[in-house]
Chain A
């Protein structure tokens, strides 16, 4: 059965090996292609677990997780990591970059693990370097000056934008951003969101944006509350 939806979680249950209670129990959660979803998830709501299930790092005890039409249960071993590299771009709260690599090397990291994204990146920018330059420039970074700098020499705001460039390179269908703005001050945060949206729009990717800051919610197509979605008791983290 094919599914037009980009992401589908159906009757998914997950509990950590030593936990007695389930951490996640999600009857249904889905995203359409190109949809921008705001997921409000306070800490301890099973947010990281949910993202790990979608990113094929964890497998559910029960239920189906489908990304881009593929049931993740059918993908095993190292292929799961390749699947993540092919289809998903990730941005974390902070410390997204390998500090000892250059900005350019950091952006190109997914292309090392995904031939598909490497080829697409080459097509988009003419060459890998060209695409890195294009993305950095689009994200309002001085590509010429920063490209060869070590990642650790950048400001936090710059690092987050480099992380977005990495998540977007080679056009993965799904971009997951886990509290990407919480380390930024208000002005930088708004500018960051503008750029993120613009580029998501340009690449046609879907965006799953996780934050505890409900104030950001109005800018998204849809707003989902993880504690409401998750039927599991959230007694502990």
Chain B
């Protein structure tokens, strides 16, 4: 017995060139929208997880986004610093498990220099609880040791043992260079896909050492203090730019935040990085919606192509319909046949598009991981993809009813007449 499906399938195969084009148009649009949707979600996840595991970011009082921008993304500058004393008091609170001091303000050939301590390597996490690790060398031990982010090392072609001269100020030209206190590259970090890659890390003492010969932003004339003399000095900082705080239990986060915001000695601001990152994404993420709209329009174009392929075939297929009618097919059967054809084209198109999407995503994942250290979630396709595919299929079935309806009307009026 020849089922309606066999008839639809054979008929489509008979017109394989146009059918293939229709399938391809749908496949490409499906692959595009699935990929855009995934990139959109992954980009958001990666962005929001630029910094994870940190419960609070503390800095001098300013705006939430501003504090986030300079402390996490190394964009812009702090208008004020916070005192080292306040930082130590916060670190000593019962609820606090660890803190990471951040001291910014200097640069090396366009890359920001971050002063911090060993806790940075121990507690800083990003993505899904990923920690920093070194691909080469060691963490800083000496005052003049520096650990480079992967991009800094790659772009500037630095290796362990290289000497670097850090500039005061953050202009790319490097306003004044601290020529007398060269740093030595002691370690290079693994790629993380976060601003860490574009950072030169030194110890807090290193930052202090840079400024030994400076008074009120001016370099003291003379030869400069020799490095060995500096090593013997008391290099405890008096202030830092910001502080990352990890709590023993997350439940205390609002209490600690309030306590810091109401701190009496100086005006401080504590923010929840997750919330601030979400807020920032709201500002920079507008492009994602535009992309999604463009992809939806491409899907629409694919569906319109599907209809046009079927509609244009109808006039050539009047004879086929007449034969079916004469054998006992009702106009309803003709309608169902055409619906079946558009569904077959749509399903094949969606399946091909899905495979295309999976292959391209896997390739991109490998590329991102090896080159940029961006760890895409890499999860298996789930509900969002399935829902999108089903929505496209539903749209294809609905639009496929248009040529089917035309065929229905046509076969009503033609009957068994063999019009060509």
Contact = CB atoms under 8 A, between A and B. Distances in A.
A165 B329 CA distance: 18
Interface string A111-135: 1111000100000000010000000
A82 B319 CA distance: 20
A61 to B, nearest CB: 16
B174 interface: no
A100 B11 contact: yes
Nearest to B9: A100
B2 to A, nearest CB: 4
B14 interface: yes
B327 A112 contact: yes
Given A81-B328, A81-B330, A114-B328, A48 B323 contact: no
B1 A98 contact: no
A191 B65 CA distance: 92
Contacts of B369: none
Interface string B1-25: 1111011001101100000000000
A120 to B, nearest CB: 14
A101 B319 contact: no
Interface stretch (B72-80, B300-308, B412-420): B412-420
Contacts of A45: none
B178 interface: no
A166 B7 CA distance: 16
B2 A95 contact: no
A19 B333 CA distance: 29
Given A100-B14, A105-B6, A128-B1, A78 B330 contact: yes
Contacts of A93: 418
Given A57-B415, A111-B1, A98 B7 contact: yes
Contacts of B333: 78, 81, 113
Nearest to B414: A57
A109 B322 CA distance: 13
Contact of A81 (B3, B320, B325, B418): B325
A29 B3 CA distance: 37
Interface in A35-53: 48, 51-52
Given A95-B418, A105-B2, A110 B327 contact: yes
B328 A113 contact: yes
A99 B14 contact: yes
Interface string A82-100: 1011100010110111111
Contacts of A98: 7, 10-11, 320, 323-324
A55 B416 CA distance: 9
A108 B415 CA distance: 20
A48 B416 CA distance: 9
Interface size class of A (residues with CB under 8 A): 35 or more
Interface string A162-189: 0000100000000000000000000000
Given A101-B2, A110-B327, A95 B319 contact: yes
B326 A92 contact: yes
A105 to B, nearest CB: 4
B10 A57 contact: no
A44 to B, nearest CB: 14
A229 to B, nearest CB: 20
A77 B331 CA distance: 9
Contact of B10 (A100, A112, A128): A100
Given A100-B11, A112-B1, A128-B1, A58 B415 contact: yes
Nearest to B326: A90
B319 A52 contact: no
A92 B418 contact: yes
Contacts of B6: 101, 105
Interface in B165-179: none
Nearest to A58: B415
A101 B337 CA distance: 15
B332 interface: yes
A82 B329 CA distance: 8
Contacts of A86: 328
Interface in B248-285: none
A48 B417 CA distance: 7
Interface string A150-167: 000000000000000010
A90 B6 CA distance: 22
Contacts of B416: 51-52, 55, 57, 90, 92
B328 A110 contact: yes
Given A90-B416, A109-B2, A97 B323 contact: yes
A128 B2 CA distance: 11
8 contacts: A90-B326, A90-B416, A93-B418, A95-B418, A105-B2, A108-B2, A110-B328, A113-B328
Given A100-B13, A101-B7, 14 more contacts: A55-B326, A81-B331, A82-B330, A95-B319, A98-B11, A99-B14, A100-B10, A100-B14, A101-B6, A101-B10, A113-B327, A113-B329, A113-B333, A166-B327
Which 10 residue pairs spanning A and B have beta carbons closest together?
A: A85-B328, A113-B328, A100-B14, A81-B330, A57-B415, A78-B330, A109-B327, A90-B326, A100-B10, A105-B2
